[in-house]
Amino acid sequence: MHTKTISQLSAVLRSGEVSSVELTSLFLDRIKQHNLALNCFISITEAQALEAAAAADQRLKAGNAAPLTGVPIAHKDIFCTEGVKTTCGSKMLDNFIAPYESTCTAKFRDAGAVMLGKTNMDEFAMGSSNETSYFGAVKNPWDQGRVPGGSSGGSVSAVAARLAPAATGTDTGGSIRQPAALCGLTGLKPTYGRVSRFGMIAFASSLDQAGPVTYSAEDAALMMNVMAGFDERDSTSVAREVPDYSANLENGIEGLKIGLPKEYFGEGLDGNIARVIDAAIKEYEALGAVVKEISLPNTGLAVPTYYVVAPAECSTNLSRFDGVRFGHRCDDPQDLFDLYTRSRGEGFGLEVKRRIMIGTYVLSAGYYDAYYLKAQKIRRLISDDFRAAFEKVDVIMGPTTPSTAFKLGEKADDPVTMYLSDIYTIAVNMAGLPAASIPAGFVDGLPVGLQVIGNYFDESRLLNVAHKYQQATDWHLQVPKEFQ
């Protein structure tokens, strides 16, 4: 039962073969059994989960269930959940019980999905390995000596180990796609503005976007049907009709034009990963797609530009955590200055401090034009590259990550090498485009992800393209040995 997709679980719940309380208990037991080793949950919300499951069972009996009613899922601990500790992976918020519910989690709650708990993450979503969490590193279920990726590492590790059948994540520079690739799952970052950011603790507001982590594209569509949509409480949410993401999954992809950016296949890409991606592209050709080489000439500027824009935004967003309005407060402050500096000094971890310092620097009067303004101009060039590409092709494909999951500690002391883990994912956030990572094979027993980038609001097509591949392959259904 624990290896079923949420589409299958939804059917099983409807048939009455299993109740939501039974299903929820099964996953709670699995979490208790494995969380000590994997560390993917910060909070396990057992009592609320069982209560929600009982309510879902009533709804199922009454015949007014939605597709996700009774299906257990996990939420990244970046979403405010009313009455439940919401830490964002930080000591700063270790004692924060959210007084309200984020729009995203409220939509799942209203759809009858059952929250199992809140998942571990890099502190304030800054990281690519889940090692910056105040609550400790998360392990990759495929090899527990390796990272699951980040920052949504807890969500992804939990789903990969079948401790939850699906989860939410957020992606500012790759934090859904990169861990999904490293753990063999399907992860989707929607178009900027497609999913409400209300109640989602902000890292870099112009880049942050929530999305699903699932086994299959079919499941991602079910999650998107709940998550997507306009929210008047998020001023950057887009008022645009939400399609039924499950409706076009079966469309044929004959004649689909796939662009392969030459910049994504050059130096820095592991040769074994390149071979896996080539094989996936061949599979698409066999399904009738046509492949075209394209160029995204400003690809090399994406990571350095991101590391100006994201820290700038984070330095302003994180100023609210001052020990007065929000966050950890130091003991016995001598005066206001002491209160601010010690509370922030104690509450934030190293990587967050590094970003705040960089952000404050690039926004300061003497450097604003040279760094921040320049970065914004380059951001436009990066978007323009994609705009030009989408005049010629329907989707863009390439590797999600330059290597498979690395060893715990391997890059922890080398921020620049760590930042390069997102070399293929970051430009997508800079442009605000949607993109998915789907399992495409293995190298030495470790999963490899294929990234599929779409045009603005073209999530339906991405899911269709991913689903067709998943009908022809079974990479997305592989389960790490210990968790089968």
User: Is 385 near ligand GLN (CB under 6 A)?
Assistant: no
Task: Output the DSSP codes for 433-473.
Answer: --EEEEEEEEETTEEEEEEEE--TT-HHHHHHHHHHHHHH-
Active site residues: 76, 151, 175
Tell which one of 60, 220, 276, 310 touches ligand GLN (CB under 6 A). 310
Tell which one of 6, 88, 126, 181 touches ligand GLN (CB under 6 A). 126
User: Is 171 near ligand GLN (CB under 6 A)?
Assistant: yes
Binding segment toward ligand GLN, per CB under 6 A, in 86-94, 120-128, 375-383, 390-398: 120-128
User: Is 167 near ligand GLN (CB under 6 A)?
Assistant: no
Q: Which two tokens stand for residue 87?
A: 């830490």
User: Is 154 near ligand GLN (CB under 6 A)?
Assistant: no
Dihedral sign, Cα of residue 432, residue 188, residue 42, residue 131 = negative
Count other C-beta atoms under 10 Å from residue 72's C-beta.
28
Pick the closer one to ligand GLN by CB: 160 or 202: 202
319 by Cβ neighbours in 10 Å (0-12 / 13-18 / 19+) ranks as middle
Alpha carbons 471 and 467: distance in angstroms, whole number: 6
Alpha carbons 50 and 457: distance in angstroms, whole number: 36
Tell which one of 90, 103, 128, 317 touches ligand GLN (CB under 6 A). 128
Least spacing, CB of residue 406 vs ligand GLN, in Å: 13
Least spacing, CB of residue 105 vs ligand GLN, in Å: 18
Alpha carbons 163 and 182: distance in angstroms, whole number: 17
Least spacing, CB of residue 418 vs ligand GLN, in Å: 7
Size of the site for ligand GLN (CB under 6 A): 13
Alpha carbons 162 and 160: distance in angstroms, whole number: 5
Closest CA to 477 of 253, 156, 214, 138: 214
Tell which one of 89, 174, 259, 434 touches ligand GLN (CB under 6 A). 174
Q: How many Cα atoms occupy the beta-carbon half-sphere of 296 within 13 Å?
A: 33
The sheet that has 72-76: what strands, in order across it?
41-44, 114-119, 72-76, 167-171, 209-214, 186-189, 435-443, 446-453, 395-399, 257-261, 290-294
Tell which one of 57, 131, 422, 459 touches ligand GLN (CB under 6 A). 422
Binding segment toward ligand GLN, per CB under 6 A, in 122-130, 230-238, 336-344, 380-388: 122-130
Between the CA of residue 71 and those of 12, 84, 191, 446, 476, what are the distances in Å?
Answer: 10, 20, 25, 28, 20
User: Is 164 near ligand GLN (CB under 6 A)?
Assistant: no
DSSP state of 139: P
User: Is 315 near ligand GLN (CB under 6 A)?
Assistant: no
Alpha carbons 276 and 265: distance in angstroms, whole number: 12
Pick the closer one to ligand GLN by CB: 213 or 249: 213
Least spacing, CB of residue 170 vs ligand GLN, in Å: 6
Least spacing, CB of residue 398 vs ligand GLN, in Å: 18
Pick the closer one to ligand GLN by CB: 404 or 464: 404
User: Is 210 near ligand GLN (CB under 6 A)?
Assistant: no
User: Is 125 near ligand GLN (CB under 6 A)?
Assistant: yes
The contact set with ligand GLN (CB under 6 A) reads 125-128, 151, 171-175, 203, 310, 422
